[in-house]
Structure 1
Amino acid sequence: MIDFNKEVDRLGTYCTQWDYVEDRFGKKNLLPFTISDMDLEYPDEVAQVLQQRLDHRVLGYSRWKHDDFRNSIKNWYSKRFNCNIDSEWIYYSPSVMYSISKLIEIFSKDGDGVLLNTPAYNAFYDVLRTNNRKVIKSPLKNENGHYSIDFEDFKEKCKESKLFILCNPHNPTGRVWTEEELIKMINICKEYDVKIISDDIHMDIVYGSRMTPILKVAEDYLDSIYICTSPSKSFNIPALTGSYVIIPEAKTRDRFENIVRYRDFVNSPAILSVLATMTCYNDCEYWIEELLNHLENNLKYTISYLEEYLPQLKLKMPQGCYFAWIDFSELNIPGEQFQKMLIDIGEVAIMNGHVYGEECEFYLRLNVACSRDKLIDGLDRLKKTIDYIKL
């Protein structure tokens, strides 16, 4: 039994979430529930493999293009998602967002429209802005906290888009798209020749039924779909860097390789990341199952806490990811003002919803991938802030 309630002191480790909370929130020493990593230790098996490699005492240039790396990914997709992929489709990349940026570069030009379902992960806005692409928004329908695709709007927006960036599971809402929804997306994109880039980095963090990688239902649109992902979120190893992209179509793989290997020169992998990826996928499925139990219990605890102490705040159990997407609209307080009060009164850092879209001013995204004690402390600070507002 893994103790996910063990307290881990991350201060003094150059940690973005803890050591640099002031950068985003303007104040030091806040209790953070922000960046999407976990305050939890990664699997013992990974620690052992990394230590063995460090004990070797040579960290020279390495390779990723071998069966050990590719087959670990291929086998994970088979056993975890019942999805068959060809190992030749897999290509190493330094990060998921790097892969997305390069695919945007390959398949569109300055001023082209790229479709997002909103709210959307904030890095999507950044990568489109800095690549001089036009953000085309198709807002998700929100029915009492359950999000779904507005397919009529989605179809209209596809008419002015070159690419569609899918997020599966969806950050920040936690939706896990069904096979039927994915097939409808594909059919519409196919009709208007819109290529699909799927960010699946949270693919293993799903409660209940498994998620479906979009390639599994791609059929004759396979060559126009690309999955960008990594074990970094699932196993809490983002500091190792490294990810992979799945590109079924050979010509696109060649174009991607030309950029990564011969133009940007980032093809030599971080060997510790390669080793960790293989170890996670080959040996640590049990760890994911225990993690999911811990995260689900933390989310359920958050829901019960809000129902008992803060009924003005609304939270539906997400289908995936480790975020509590909290609606505080009943407080009737502007989002910016509430954020300032959380910082000054509660001394807690929680991501404000406006980061993910203008329509999300009255939402918070609280990261529950932590110990129960930390979560309770954070919720108590949230309550302290709201109690002050009521005075």
Structure 2
Amino acid sequence: MNFDDIKDRRGTYCTQWDYIKDRFGKEDLLPFTISDMDLESPDEIAEALIKRINHKIFGYSRWNHDDFKNAVTGWYEKRFNYIPDKEWIVYSPSVIYSVSKFIEMKTEKGDGVLINTPGYDGFFKMIEGNERKLISSPLKNVNGRYEVDFEDFEKKCDEAKVFLLCSPHNPVGKVWTEEELKKMIDICRKKNVFIISDEIHMDIVYNGKHIPILSLGGEYLENMILCTSASKTFNIPAFTGSYLFIPSEKDREEFLRILKNRDALSSPSILAVIATITAYNKCEYWVDELVKYTENNIRFTKEYLQKNIPELKCEVPQGSYFAWIDFSELDLPSEEFQRYLIDIGKVAVMPGLTYGEEGRYFLRFNVACSIKKVQDGLERILKAVEHIRNLKNI
């Protein structure tokens, strides 16, 4: 395991590298975009998959067995000191599919779905696609750290049927405290708002501790679900596959009816099942090293900006592998800065505006890659900023 190794991903039908022109208009860019990693998955996962592929028969498979469920509950016990009920575990092809189905189940067209913004752009598209009303409760930026405006949050709950939580939060990297989660649950209980918690970034935490929301559910437990996957942690999203915890038996049966009978998606990718079991049973050490490495990459990013591009600022987030970079001191519109990054720096970084109006003067810089690539990306950003400096001095 050497995260410094660089492997060329071009020519593998890779979204981040092969199809960069689709989003940024040019091909010759160094990408720090979609939330996957330029890092190899653990050897144990590759070996388990090769063994299965060498069997050479790829028929229909199952997820509803003890090998899969015990791997999941064992991971939660090891990482979060929490043992969810095995009966709650249900397979899903993706986290966003699970979220979408529960929004269908718990709301009608036109009903409100509350999120904290800036927020994952997939939430915006999915809520709109379901013909629901997106309700935003903006997070407060306090010296680079984000907090919930609970007065606004409670007010917005009056308009919402569902609260869609991102925990840890993408893109700002907020890891919610027990106090914050309890307060969210208490307000949702008081307002009769169903809670859907997307916890796909749960394993990438630098400061604080990830707390599965169900561990705090108490009397409101059957009015919430937790959706997650091994895909972000172990860089295996190409296999598809996720799982969720549904404490309510009624909701569980309804979700399975939709999954199996209506959408015909209950047969999982066997590669996803094997990868998840192997990851959770054998690769805890790898996650520990990954967290150290990506945290170091973000610290390097912060220090590089302080030394070379003081107009740009970022704090080390509490979790996730994104540096959330504030460029407001450049006094440039997001669209104009993007043009300089693309045309002058030859670098593709997700504009914060993608995640809502609150991200207008930010970049989401994905550091789940070699330190050499991070340095190259920052040097390209510097080149773009130097061009801007020269223009301002003309």
For normalisation by structure 1, the TM-score amounts to: 0.99
Aligned to 2:292: 293
Q: Separation in 2 of the partners of 1:357 and 1:174?
A: 15
Q: Is 2:280 the counterpart of 1:281? A: yes
Please list, as runs of the form range in 1=range in 2, the aligned pairs for 1:45-194 lying within 5 A after superposition: 45-194=44-193
Q: What one-letter code is carried by the residue in structure 2 that aligns with 1:54?
A: I
1:19 is the counterpart of 2:35:
no
Give 5+ residue unaligned stretches, structure 2: none
AA partner of residue 70 (structure 2): N
Secondary structure in 1 aligned to 2:160?
Answer: coil
1:225 aligns with 2:216: no
SS at match of 1:147: strand
- How far, CA to CA, are the matches of 1:287 and 1:200 in structure 2? 19
CA distance in 2, matches of 1:356, 1:320: 17
1:266 CA displacement = 0.4
Deviation, 1:360, is: 1.5
Distance apart, 1:359 and its partner CA: 2.3
1:35 aligns to what? 34
CA distance in 2, matches of 1:142, 1:208: 18
Structure 2 Cα separation of the partners of residues 27 and 90 of structure 1: 43
Distance in 2 of aligned mates of 1:340 and 1:324: 20
Paired position in structure 2 for 1:241: 240
Within 2, Cα distance between the matches of 1:109 and 1:388?
A: 51
CA contact (8 A) 2:165 2:195 kept: yes
What is the alpha-carbon distance in structure 2 between the residues aligned to residue 373 and residue 31 of structure 1? 12
Which letter maps to 2:135?
Answer: I
Trace 1:264-275 onto structure 2 (pairs within 5 A): 264-275=263-274
Partner residue, 1:212: 211
Distance 1:362 1:222 in 2: 38
* Superposition CA RMSD, Å: 0.6
**One-letter amino acid matched to 2:184:** M
CA distance in 2 between counterparts of 1:89 and 1:71 reads 12
Moved over 4 A (4+): none
Which residue in the other structure is 1:252 paired with? 251
- Aligned equivalents of 1:241, 1:161: Cα separation in 2: 30
Matched, 1:331 2:316: no
**Structure 1 residue 79: deviation in Å?**
1.2
Helix, strand or coil: the match of 1:138? strand
1:208 offset after TM fit, Å? 3.3
Change beyond 3 A, Cα 1:201–1:70: same
Q: Give how far 1:209 is off.
A: 3.3
The answer to whether the 8 Å contact 2:177/2:208 transfers is no
Q: 3-state DSSP class of the match of 1:257? A: helix
- Which range moved further: 207-216 or 144-153? 207-216
- 1:253-305 C-alpha deviation (Å, 9 max, x unpaired): 00000000010000000000000000000110000000011001001000100
Q: Distance in 2 between matches of 1:70 and 1:354?
A: 39
How many pairs does the alignment contain?
390
Amino acid aligned to 1:270: S
Please tell me the residue identity of whatever aligns with 2:382. Answer: K
Alpha-carbon distance in structure 2 between the residues aligned to 1:320 and 1:349: 22
Structure 1 residue 327, shift from structure 2 partner: 0.3
Superposition pairs of residues 286-365 of structure 1, within 5 angstroms: 286-365=285-364
CA drift at 1:78: 1.1
The answer on whether the counterparts of 2:117 and 2:356 sit within 8 Å (CA) in structure 1 is: yes
Deviation at 1:224, TM superposition (A): 0.6
- Is the Cα contact below 8 Å between 2:120 and 2:170 reproduced in 1? yes
Q: TM-score, normalised by structure 2?
A: 0.98
Deviation at 1:314, TM superposition (A): 1.1
1:358 deviates by 1.3
Amino acid in structure 2 at the alignment position of 1:62: S
Hey, what does 2:4 align to over in structure 1? Answer: 5
Taking the aligned partners of 1:285 and 1:31, their CA distance within structure 2 comes to 31
1:380 and 1:258 mapped to 2: Cα distance? 52
Calculate percent identity across the aligned residue pairs: 58
**1:144 CA displacement:** 1.0
Deviation at 1:201, TM superposition (A): 0.4
The structural deviation recorded for 1:210 is: 2.3
In the alignment, the residues of structure 2 paired with residue 29 and residue 64 of structure 1 have an alpha-carbon distance, to the nearest angstrom, of: 41
Q: SS of the counterpart of 1:245?
A: strand
